[in-house]
Structure 1
Amino acid sequence: MTERLAAVAALAQRFPALAAIALGLIAACAYPPLHLWPLGLAGIAGFVWLVFTAGSWKQALWRGWWFGWAHLTLANNWIATAFTHQAKMPEFLGWLAVPLLCIYLAIYPALAALAAHLLARKRPLWAFGLVLAGAWIVTEWLRGWVFTGYPWPPLGLMLLGGWDTPGLARALPVTGTYALSGLTLFIAASFLAVLAERRWVNAAGLALVVTGTMLAPSLHIAVTRSADAVEYTLVQPYIPQSEINDGSKFEEQFARLARLSAKGRDRSRLVLWPESGVPDYLEDGYPTRYYLQMTAGGDPKLARARIGTVIGPQSTLLTGVVNLNIGTNASGVPAAVSARNSVMALDGKGAIIGGYDKAHLVPYGEYLPMRTILQPLGLSRLVAGSIDYLPGPGARTLDLGPQGKAGVMICYEIVFSGHVADKANRPDYIFNPSNDGWFGTWGPPQHLAQARMRAIEEGLPVLRSTTTGISAVIDANGVIEQSIGMGKAAAIEGLIPPAKPPTLFSQWGHVLTLAWAGLFLILGLGLPRVLALARSRG
């Protein structure tokens, strides 16, 4: 066995770029929907060894880059599916877009590998792992906000447990997502270090601890809800992406929403509809030609009143909507000049009682960056329409009276650790409407998994309503209480799970992230010297 491993190691050193690519692909299999986390840890361990044995800073940099490029390309393969739902650009561009995007994203793992080589190349393997983990935390944090940020997927996502357990992600309240990624890397490096020294008992013990933590059940919040717990009806209407903008389907889509929402209209409850769920414009102030067939009279008040009759007089609705900003075109005719991806709160009479505009917009999905340069080259957004969406002001809490205080994160926004709740006005729960019809088979389960991480991190339940799946109610431990699978039209009912007290991360945010990075770096750089000094004096 040892001889075989030595042969594999020698081959990897002869072809380090191919080895890094293979290890990156192996590690990406740890993410949903495959969730082969032991294989993922093995891939990361191989990556640590490959960087540790690099002979120069250039080798370390390139080994980190190749690993990151392959790893993130496979993990983000769902992006290519979005190109099959638009007509302006060839579908094959999607399969080019993902590896091209990852040319940039791979810079961050490359920088982590470079930093570890420069700082810790002469230190023991376990100390090198600590330094690499600290550097990874910093670079993953940077990836989350530089150039608007793209943190999908964080490395620590692979250690989120199954639907009924948080796994090692139970540490999120005190680490945050990016520090959990560093911890994931250090665990893999620790396996590597004890195996390299043939300390089989230590390796078995570490494997037992990690496996036990991954499989251990959650310390559930009490099932009994308080007397003032909010009742909900969460709807997944199953609107395929091909029907989202099909005007002939709008009435049918609304009828489906109405049918699934009808049960419980005589009670006080919160009704939740997804992003892209309402096929009409509900704000006042649009020219008549902007109203769709759901409002036969061309009056938004009629549309809202119709919705009020669906949800019932004591209910409150949170639904995804598109709002237009009306100006004038070159001819002086009223026209839409921009749009907002929004959530609107309606009471049982159809009155607007609150709203939220999506703040973190998707490049190429909701706006075209550098439009004056890229549009003449034939590039366009991946969604219908030529006008760009404008961002809202950021996380805010909607006070819905008897339905509690709702935080709102629309679709992709839920992946941004530390930016999902208003710290000054903490909500009781987070509503995450989404349209996951774009994202194939890998995107929706990864999206759901990241929503679970936000629930654990913030100590808040998350309620996800999607057009096609996966919709779910997630408690503050990250456990999925109820769900609706992909490709189904259904509704689920219950009481919103209670929030936990504010977590350490919810209070300190990424100050805590950088503190963990500093701790890893200090331990990796300082402990070997302390131990050497202690041995010399002993």
Structure 2
Amino acid sequence: MTQRYPRLLALVAGGLSATGFAPWGLWPVTLACLALLIHLIASAPSRRAAFGRTWMFALGHFTIGLNWIAIAFTYQDTMPHWLGWVAVVGLSCYLALFPALAALGTKTLRAAPDGQADAGFVLAFAGLWLVTEWMRAWVFTGFAWNPLGVVALEAGWAARIVGTYGLGALVMLASGALLLLVRRDWKPALALLAGTVLASGAGWAVQRTPAPSTDLPITVVQPNNDQSDKYDPQEAARNFARLERESLDRQAQVPRVVFWPEAATEDFVEDGYPRRYYYPETPAGVRARLTRPLNDGDILVTGGVKLDFDRNGQAVAAANSVFAFSSDGEILGSYDKSHLVPGGEYLPYEEILGQIGLSRLVPGTIGFTPGPGPQTLDLGAFGRMGLQICYEIVFSGEVVDAAHRPGFLFNPSNDAWFGPWGPPQHLAQARLRALEEGMPVIRSTPTGISAVIDADGRLLQSLAHHTAGHIDSVMPGAHAATPFALWGNLLPLALAGLLILLAVALRALRR
């Protein structure tokens, strides 16, 4: 079948490879499928055939892994719901170009005249896969969801050094080793495996001891407010009542930080807007209501919305924001989301796509504008907080203001419209950010999965999907900055360069 129907086989294998991600976690299947992909590329009769086979593999891989995007369309009544699957396949067609470019480059660098991949071929493909995954995260604003390294999360210590993209290259090396083992090419297979084990061991050795603990109390709230009710004015009071109920703790002995989800409030909390934007409450009244569940000395951190106005008092832009409030309703600081969701908070090429009936998934006529990037808010006795709203947390190496390193990251999110696959995938990527940066991550979402993640990426506590509740805990401690936190994606790119140089060197020696 590999000779008669290679593209069909690649498509099926690509779809199966996506089961290595959450919620299935079938990483051995992913390794086997990637081993088959390497064989299909090596045995391809030309660079064009290698490109086509890999594009088909990646089309299946992304279409299955991103199926949750189609479910998001079911919450938008201005477009037919079937367009969700058109969006999934269309996006996957584009994303599949990146792995296909890696295959094209590999076939150029390490053509396999006998149709068999050797160690050099695997090294080249792993290095170029890393480079193209990194490119996928920023070309045309980037879409970094589900990088390959996520399948190795539970043993992903190497991410402390080479980050998520480097971890993906190690997964590819392990897959190549599997292919060589099947062919009984023992020595190069064991050499590749030894390299992955050595890198993993180095990542483990960077931080062998647990992070120091803190005694700072926190409450993470998950109200289980359904996405279908979010923009219904009739449900606003009921939605807030759930937030308030899960936040109340009049028996607390010491002040705490209370975390609410992304866009937990639709009310405008800043002073200075035209009066019509506050009706029927004043901004001071809104802040007093939001902080009503707090005890003296508590801090509330919640998602909200900011507006920008023209000189005529008309709102012309919005920001997806997070606000920190003291218990007396004072705004202690705020943060504006930088990485907006394409198709969600803005529509790329709106002047063209709007003509064929497409619109963004977030309702409203005012466009969202991006914020300046990672920032740190000082919460006084509660330490320094970094913020990444929802989708932003998936961008490896872009989540922390390194000049003002925080003690933890807060990732308020709204995964309520992402079906059963999106939320666990999102959680897994947040855990990798904790591991890379050496700091805890706190997640609060309307319907789950809310969680407390320690500085080693371990899930300490969580609330199940579609469950109302709250987590009372203490803030996990942070490690000193990891090598990846200090150098960012320079380290995985250096790894890519090393792998490609080794591939070229092996080719020269073979000649």
With the length of structure 2 as denominator, give the TM-score of the two structures: 0.93
Q: 1:67 aligns with which of 57, 82, 93?
A: 57
Question: Tell me, what secondary structure is at the counterpart of 1:440?
Answer: coil
Residue ranges of structure 1 left out of the alignment (5+ in a row): 1-10, 162-166, 534-538
Q: Which secondary structure state, in structure 2, belongs to the residue aligned with residue 386 of structure 1?
A: coil
* Amino acid of the structure 1 residue aligned with 2:426: H
Q: In the aligned structure 2, how far is the partner of 1:341 from the partner of 1:80?
A: 23
SS in 2 for 1:14: coil
Shift of 1:250: 1.1
How big is the shift at 1:281? 1.3
Once the two structures are superposed, what CA deviation does each residue of 1:265-301 show, in whole Å capped at 9, x if it has no partner?
5521111000021231111122333236xxx5x2111
2:224 corresponds in structure 1 to: 238
Deviation at 1:378, TM superposition (A): 2.0
Cα distance in 2 for residues equivalent to 1:396 and 1:201: 45
Please give the alpha-carbon distance, in whole angstroms, between the structure 1 residues aligned to 2:344 and 2:189.
Answer: 49
Q: Which residue of 2 aligns with 1:17?
A: 7
Do the aligned partners of 2:319 and 2:336 also contact (CA within 8 Å) in 1?
yes
One-letter amino acid of the counterpart of residue 430, structure 1:
L
Code of the residue aligned with 1:400 in structure 2: it is L
Residue 42 of structure 2 corresponds to 52
Matching of residues 75-474 of structure 1 within 5 Å = 75-122=65-112, 125-161=118-154, 167=155, 169-197=156-184, 199=186, 222=210, 225-226=213-214, 229-263=215-249, 267-291=254-278, 296=280, 298-327=281-310, 334-474=313-453
How far apart are residue 65 of structure 1 and its match? 0.8
Change (3 A) 1:519 1:489: same
* 1:16-48 per-position Cα deviation (integer Å, ceiling 9, x unaligned): 110110110121111111110101100000000
Give me the CA root mean square deviation: 2.3
- What secondary structure does 1:179 align onto? helix
* CA distance in 1: counterparts of 2:415 and 2:209, whole angstroms: 29
Distance 1:421 1:281 in 2: 27
Q: Distance in 1 between matches of 2:403 and 2:439?
A: 15
Q: Secondary structure, in 3 states, of the residue corresponding to 1:418?
A: coil
Which has the higher mean CA deviation after the structures are superposed, 56-65 or 283-292? Answer: 283-292
Query: Is the partner of 1:225 in helix, strand or coil?
Result: coil
Give the Cα separation in 2 of the matches to 1:51 and 1:527. 19
Question: Which amino acid is the alignment partner of residue 220 of structure 2?
Answer: L
Q: Describe the SS at the equivalent of 2:335.
A: strand
Give the drift of 1:223.
8.1
Q: After TM superposition, what 4+ stretches of structure 1 lie above 6 angstroms from structure 2?
A: 200-203, 217-220
User: Does the 8 Å CA contact 1:472/1:482 hold for their aligned counterparts?
Assistant: yes
Bigger mean CA deviation after superposition, 66-75 or 413-422:
66-75
**Displacement, 1:506?**
0.7
The C-alpha deviation readout for 1:424-466, integer Å capped at 9, x for no partner, is 0000000000000110011000000000000000101000000
* Cα pair 1:266 1:314 within 8 Å, conserved: no
8 Å contact 1:24–1:68 — kept in the other structure? yes
* Cα distance change of structure 1 residues 70 and 201 upon mapping to structure 2, 3 Å threshold: closer
Residues 468 and 242 of structure 1: is their aligned pair in 2 closer, same or farther, counting only changes over 3 Å? same
- Tell me by how many angstroms 1:112 deviates: 0.2
Per the alignment, in what secondary structure is the counterpart of residue 407 of structure 1?
Answer: strand
* CA distance, structure 1, for counterparts of residue 327 and residue 412 of structure 2: 20
In 2 relative to 1, CA 188–202 (structure 1 residues): closer, same or farther, beyond 3 Å?
A: closer
- Could you list the runs of 5+ residues in structure 2 that have no partner in the other structure? none
Q: CA deviation at 1:109?
A: 0.6
Q: Distance in 1 between matches of 2:3 and 2:275?
A: 68
Amino acid at match of 1:391: P
Deviations 1:186-207 (A, max 9, x none): 110011112212649978x969
Cα deviations by residue, 1:328-352 (Å, 9 ceiling, x for unpaired):
6xxx6x4322111000010111000
User: What secondary structure does 1:369 align onto?
Assistant: coil
Return the alpha-carbon distance in structure 1 between the equivalents of residues 296 and 286 of structure 2: 15
Give me the whole-angstrom Cα distance separating, in 2, the residues matched to 1:266 and 1:48. Answer: 59
Give me the whole-angstrom Cα distance separating, in 1, the residues matched to 2:358 and 2:438. Answer: 41
Secondary structure at the aligned position of 1:350 is classed as: coil
- Structure 1 SS opposite 2:301: strand
Count the aligned residue pairs. Answer: 501
User: Aligned with 2:402: secondary structure?
Assistant: coil
Shift of 1:529: 3.8
The one-character-per-residue Cα deviations of 1:49-84 (angstroms, maximum 9, x if unpaired) are 000111111111111111111111111111001100
Distance in structure 1 (CA, Å) of the matches to 2:430 and 2:208: 18
Q: Distance in 2 between matches of 1:374 and 1:132?
A: 36
Distance in 2 separating the partners of 1:376 and 1:28 = 34
- Aligned counterparts of 2:216 and 2:363: Cα–Cα separation in 1: 36
Q: Supply the distance in 2 between the matched residues of 1:23 and 1:116 (Cα, whole angstroms).
A: 20
Tell me the residue number matched to 1:512. Answer: 491
Query: In terms of mean alpha carbon deviation, does 520-529 or 406-415 score higher?
Result: 520-529
Closer/same/farther in 2, CA of residues 141 and 465 from structure 1, 3 Å limit: same
Name the amino acid aligned to 1:260.
Answer: E
SS in 1 for 2:20: coil
Separation in 1, partners of 2:43, 2:357: 45
Distance 1:452 1:286, change over 3 A: same
**1:265–1:313 CA contact under 8 A, matched in 2:** no
Question: Which is further off, 346-355 or 265-274?
Answer: 265-274
Of all paired residues, the percent bearing the same amino acid is 46
